[in-house]
Structure 1
Amino acid sequence: MSKVISAHAVSVDGYITGREPGAGRGLGDGTMLFDWYFDGDTRSQVFDGFKLSGPSARLFDALAGRVGALVAGRNTYEDSDHFGGGGPHPTARPFILSHRPAPEMTERQTLVTTGIEDAVAAAREAAGGRDVFLMGGGVVTAALKAGLVDEVVLHQVPVLLGGGRPFFQALPEHVRLRLIEAVPAPGVTHLHYAIER
């Protein structure tokens, strides 16, 4: 069965954006969270234009190659300028979770307004046995609360942003993680965890 996975670039102090993210401003002053996508010498086999370090490319491409569909939150969708009418992954269909209409949607994107369970179920069906990836702190928090997340990957960048959107929001209880793999790489440390049930 496919897995539900969250994989995010995050600062050491837990932010997935810098200050003042939004439409036309992207991640605000947090764009350095993605420098490791482009400052290496190994081309990604999944994403055109990405040149990562060898260790980052191995882990990143292995994860990205598993993705069949993704669920993104409305803030992520807006901050990313609607993914240019497509999606953030070259082959995975995006499902946008929102409680309000999204008039900018294209036929390549699917809006889900009935909650995280329905969004993940629709993404699983579209994924065809491959994994479902989650994007955005609100989506990840809702999926954790619903017990839907199998793995969490933190691409931890050695910077303290001091503000922005935090990755994790309030949870009703502790979530225990088991480290699967830790991969140090130039400009980032990849921490891959399984959710303990």
Structure 2
Amino acid sequence: MSVVLVALSVSVDGYITGRDPGAGRGLGDATMLFDWYFDGDTPSQVFDGFRLSEPSARVFDALAGRVGASLVGRNTYDDSGWVHGGAPHPTAPLFVLSHRPVPGMSDGQTLVTTGIEDAVAAAREAAGDKDVALMGGGVATAALAAGLVDEVILHQVPILLGGGRPFFQSLPGHVRLRAVEVVPAPGVTHLHYEVLR
């Protein structure tokens, strides 16, 4: 069965965007969260144009190679500009969880309006024997609260943003994690956790 994972770049103080993110404004003033994608000499084998440090390329490509479908919330979808087409992964279909209509979705994008359980189930079916990657604080929190997440991966960038959208929102209880791997790299530390049940 496929693994459901959450993997995002995050500041030390827990933000995945800068201040004032939104449609047409991208992820706000937090582009430095993604500098590690382009600050190295090792080209990604999965994403064209990404040049990472050797340790980041090893972690990033291994993770990206596992992904068979992506699931995002509406804010992440709008902020990232995927409303005009595209997706967070070059080959994986994109599922969008939203209670609002999403006009003009492109091929490879699917709207799910019936809740996190149905969205994860649809993404799992599309992923086949590959994994489902969740993106966005709302989707991550809803899936964690529903007990649907198997792994949490933080690409922690050494910066305090002081504001923006937090990675995790309020959870109904504790979620215990077990560290699987910690990989320091230039400009980022990759923290890989297993969700304990």
Give the TM-score normalised by structure 1. 0.98
Q: How far has the Cα of 1:125 moved from its partner? A: 0.5
> Does structure 1 residue 159 correspond to structure 2 residue 159?
yes
CA distance in 1, matches of 2:152, 2:31: 21
5+ residue gaps in structure 1?
none
Partner of 1:170 in structure 2? 170
Equivalent runs, 1:1-197 vs 2, <5 Å? 1-82=1-82, 84-197=84-197
Number of aligned residues: 197
CA distance in 1, matches of 2:174, 2:61: 30
Q: How far has the Cα of 1:106 moved from its partner? A: 1.5
The one-letter amino acid paired with 2:52 is L
Q: Secondary structure at the match of 1:96?
A: strand
Q: Secondary structure at the match of 1:121?
A: helix
Moved beyond 3 Å, runs of 4+: none
5+ residue gaps in structure 2?
none
Q: Is the 8 A contact 1:177 1:195 kept in 2?
A: yes
After superposition, the C-alpha distances for 1:154-190 in whole angstroms (9 at most, x for unaligned) are 0000000000000000000000000000000000000
Q: Secondary structure at the match of 2:32?
A: helix
Q: Is the 8 A contact 1:5 1:131 kept in 2?
A: yes
Q: How far has the Cα of 1:13 moved from its partner? A: 0.1
Q: How far has the Cα of 1:24 moved from its partner? A: 1.3
CA distance in 1, matches of 2:116, 2:107: 21
Give the TM-score normalised by structure 2. 0.98
Q: Is the 8 A contact 1:82 1:104 kept in 2?
A: no
Q: Secondary structure at the match of 1:28?
A: coil
Q: Is the 8 A contact 1:2 1:132 kept in 2?
A: yes
Change in CA separation of 1:193 and 1:83 when aligned onto 2, cut-off 3 Å: farther
CA distance in 1, matches of 2:104, 2:143: 25
After superposition, the C-alpha distances for 1:125-158 in whole angstroms (9 at most, x for unaligned) are 1001100000000000000010000000000000
CA distance in 1, matches of 2:96, 2:149: 17
Q: Secondary structure at the match of 1:132?
A: strand
Greater CA deviation, 48-57 or 101-110? 101-110
The one-letter amino acid paired with 2:95 is F
After superposition, the C-alpha distances for 1:83-115 in whole angstroms (9 at most, x for unaligned) are 641211000000000011011312320000000
